[in-house]
Amino acid sequence: MFGRSLLISCLVGAGCSDKSTGTNDSGETGSGEPPTAQITAPTPTETVPEGGFYIARGLVSDPDDAIESLVVHWFIGDEEIPRECPQGIHPDSDGLTACDVSFSLDKPLLRLRVEDNDGNSSQDTVTVNLEPATAPTVTISEPITGAEYREDDTINFVGTVSDGEDRPESLDVYWEAEYTGSEESGPGPQILDIGSTVAPDGSVTGSGIGLLTAFPSSTALQHTDYVIRLVAEDTSGRRSQTQTSIKIYPIEAPPEVEITAPASDTIFEEGDLILFEATVNDERDPLDELDVLWTSSRDGEIGNDSADSAGTARLAIDTLSVGSHLIEIAVTDREEEPRTTTAGVTIEVTEAILEDDEAVTGGSD
Ligand SMILES: [Ca+2]
Ligand SMILES: [Ca+2]
Ligand SMILES: [Ca+2]
């Protein structure tokens, strides 16, 4: 309270109006000898990080006043209001004074002013050599680019953050995800609630189950390709990010398959060209990359052409042997444990020629 009331009197009263300018100039308002002030840190050649925490130090004295009775104020740039220094407004018995400060590029000037009880003042200034602040540095080591997950997988997130001015823990750090195409019409980046923590060494770790819960359910399941970003913002508002791309598929499932032609129990004659068609589907694999195998219960393997990219598998055959066939199509995806799904129709190939022969033979008998 004392400091603030004295500050106000200094600002408005003639008693301590700042008549001194330049380095180590002395005010001559009151009676007695003026004090002296010298900034000892930073020195004029010292480089100070922009925006970084810095303890400015100075030395004050007075020929005819008790040193602890002097009042010291620190100013940045051309500011009229002194800093509120945690170290207080009086020097110690040795005349030492200090103040926690930070510098911005547009205010590189530091000013120390000392006043004695008679209203005499003196000041010292130093123009600091500022090193421009930098944005944080961000890396991601997990998930790796191209990694594939199921929607119910636990995904580990590992990265690092660092900054030229701030400690890692004081950075604002978060992970976000966005699906491809989301920029234009989708919900955009979604911050992930994965319990991410930042360690003192700058390592960032978290893990999440069901990443897609960050997205509206109506949109997330329709998308596979996601960008994962690690974002860090420092205390000066400088922001950096890096990203990786992953794929998220629905929960693992075997292919689906259904024979659509010909209709069940259609009867063909030997030598007829029979066109089989089936539709195939899978929750993950491109449909033209599924393994397809047609078999006949009578003739064994009869075809293995892949489906087209729309999921239609076709088999044209005119060599089925005479008799009843159960036709089966097996479709296998690329899971480590292959899975198959089957369906069947019964085809009866008539023995038209044989019957004719028998009729002729029987007739002759
Ligand atoms: Ca004095
Ligand atoms: Ca920074
Ligand atoms: Ca599958």
Neighbours of ion ligand 2 (CB under 5 A): 133, 163, 165, 234
pLDDT single digits (tens) 158-203: 999 999 888 999 999 999 999 886 667 778 888 998 888 899 999 9
Mean of pLDDT over the chain:
84
Give the C-alpha separation, 304 to 300, whole Å.
12
Give the C-alpha separation, 106 to 303, whole Å.
77
pLDDT band at 348 (very low <50, low <70, confident <90, very high): confident
Give the distance (Å) from ligand 3 centre to CA of residue 287.
10
Give the distance (Å) from ligand 1 centre to CA of residue 62.
5
Question: Element (H or E) spanning 219, and its range?
Answer: helix 217-220
Give the C-alpha separation, 220 to 251, whole Å.
13
Question: How many beta carbons lie within 10 A of that of residue 68, not counting itself?
Answer: 11
My answer on whether omega of the bond before 262 falls inside 30° of 0, hence cis, is yes
Q: How much is the pLDDT for 214? A: 74
The DSSP annotation for 303-358 comes to: E-PPP-TTSEEEEEES-PPSEEEEEEEEEE-SSSS--EE--EEEEEEE-HHHHHHH
Percent over 90 (pLDDT), the chain: 53
Q: What is the SS3 assignment for 15?
A: helix
Q: How much is the pLDDT for 293? A: 93
Give the distance (Å) from ligand 2 centre to CA of residue 169.
12
Rounded average pLDDT over 41-66: 92
Using CA atoms in the order 10, 11, 14, 18, what is the torsion angle rounded to 10 degrees?
A: 80
Give the distance (Å) from ligand 1 centre to CA of residue 352.
131
Rounded average pLDDT over 286-308: 94
Give the angle 187-193-196 at the CA atoms, nearest 5°.
Answer: 130
Superfamily holding 2-131: Immunoglobulins (2.60.40.10)
Q: Which ligand is nearest the CA of 233, by number?
A: 2
Whether 4 has a pLDDT exceeding 50, the answer reads no
Say how far residue 278 (Cα) sits from the centre of its chain. Answer: 43
Q: Does domain 256-354 have CATH number 2.60.40.10?
A: yes
Q: How much is the pLDDT for 360? A: 44
Enumerate the CATH 2.60.40.10 domain ranges in the chain, comma separated. Answer: 2-131, 137-249, 256-354
Question: 137-249: which CATH topology?
Answer: Immunoglobulin-like (2.60.40)
Higher pLDDT: 233 or 150? It is 233
Q: Which ligand is nearest the CA of 65, by number?
A: 1
